[in-house]
Amino acid sequence: MAGSRYEYVKNFERDEVLLHNCWVVVRVDGRAFHQFVDEHDFIKPNDKRGLDLMNECALEVCKNFSDCVVFAYGESDEYSFVLSRDTKLFNRRQAKIITSFSSLFASNYVFLWSRFFPDKALKRPPAFDARAVCYPTTENLRDYLSWRQADCHINNLYNLCYWKLVESGKSRTEAEKLLSTTLSQDKNELLFKQFGINYAHEPEMFRKGSIICKVWADETKKDEKTGQEKTRKKRRLRVVYCDIIGDKFWKENPEILNEES
Ligand code: DGT
Ligand code: MG
Ligand code: MG
Ligand code: MG
Ligand code: MG
């Protein structure tokens, strides 16, 4: 049946289609979270409740788009979702993909808030922006993920030093000035000598960020006939905290970026 005479307006629509045969990374990032975390008294520099909430939101996104998301990496107020390079999601229409991811992430953040902050009312609705970037080679994708994990490490080391100095009585300007000339090694030393903190013993979630992917896990089931328990290895969606810059993780989990999966 012919549409209305107004239907021609559809011809003005333009779709940006994500490049064929490339890995797609969708990164969502909290809007003005420097303010949001202050308004909600997040612990500085890392609030485990906030990071756990981010992970739960990301898990929901991964489950919702389980056919296409093969890996996710989160740190601070951001999460990167890797879509398989042959994904047909929304015919690879960029706008549909990024808006679906960011809105689903944000709605889950609100929906799940009270589970992670039971004693704290949400003072305003948070927003998350999103972008999609195409990476033509697996090396490019690995470098992207390494870039985010290195960013997590650099920021975390800096922020830990910064807040320890401020807590110890330095002004914010003094702390900034003091740290401006330091290298990574100097910061490690400062933490150890002045505050007795061995940076390597800080929680991996803070130092390495969070990874969501299918990993091999033991699953025990009771055989209905014999009543005997059987353990089988299955790939299950999990949050893990580990290094993804080196080759070890990728060698142990070749299925994740396996182009056929
Ligand atoms: P944007 O993304 O341009 O709208 O602006 P922001 O303010 O969200 O900036 P961004 O995304 O570069 O930085 C994230 C902010 O969130 C940064 O100020 C640190 C803060 N943040 C993230 N996680 C935590 C946490 O666990 N504890 C605290 N205290 N702050 C956190
Ligand atoms: Mg941003
Ligand atoms: Mg942000
Ligand atoms: Mg951010
Ligand atoms: Mg619709």
pLDDT at position 260 is 47
Please check whether residue 188 is in contact with residue 160, taking contact to mean a CB–CB distance below 8 angstroms.
Answer: no
Name the closest-CA residue to atom 27, ligand 1. Answer: 46
Please check whether residue 71 is in contact with residue 148, taking contact to mean a CB–CB distance below 8 angstroms.
Answer: no
Tokens 């896990």 map to which residue? Answer: 217
Ligand nearest to the CA of 99: 5
List pLDDT tens digits, range 96-130.
999 999 999 999 999 999 999 999 999 999 999 99
Token pair belonging to 56: 């739960």
Give residues with Cβ within 8 angstroms of 133, minimum separation 6: 24, 25, 27, 144
Tokens 């994740």 map to which residue? Answer: 256
Please check whether residue 25 is in contact with residue 82, taking contact to mean a CB–CB distance below 8 angstroms.
Answer: yes
Query: Counting Cβ atoms within 10 Å, is residue 91 exposed (0-12), middle (13-18) or buried (19+)?
Result: exposed
Beta strands 229-240 and 210-222, pairing class: antiparallel
Cα(129) to centroid(ligand 2), Å: 7
Q: CA torsion angle for 246, 250, 251, 257 (degrees, to 10)? A: -150
Cα(195) to centroid(ligand 1), Å: 25
Cα(228) to centroid(ligand 4), Å: 49
Please check whether residue 194 is in contact with residue 182, taking contact to mean a CB–CB distance below 8 angstroms.
Answer: no
What is the set of domains in the chain, with CATH numbers?
Answer: 14-145 (3.30.70.3000)
| ipTM exceeding 0.90, yes/no | yes
Mutate to test the pocket of ligand 1, among 52, 77, 116 (most ligand atoms within 8 A of CB): 77
Cα(32) to centroid(ligand 1), Å: 7
The least confident of 2-11, 110-119, 149-158, 195-204 is 2-11
Give residues with Cβ within 8 angstroms of 251, minimum separation 6: none
List pLDDT tens digits, range 126-176.
999 999 999 999 999 999 999 999 999 999 999 999 999 999 999 999 999
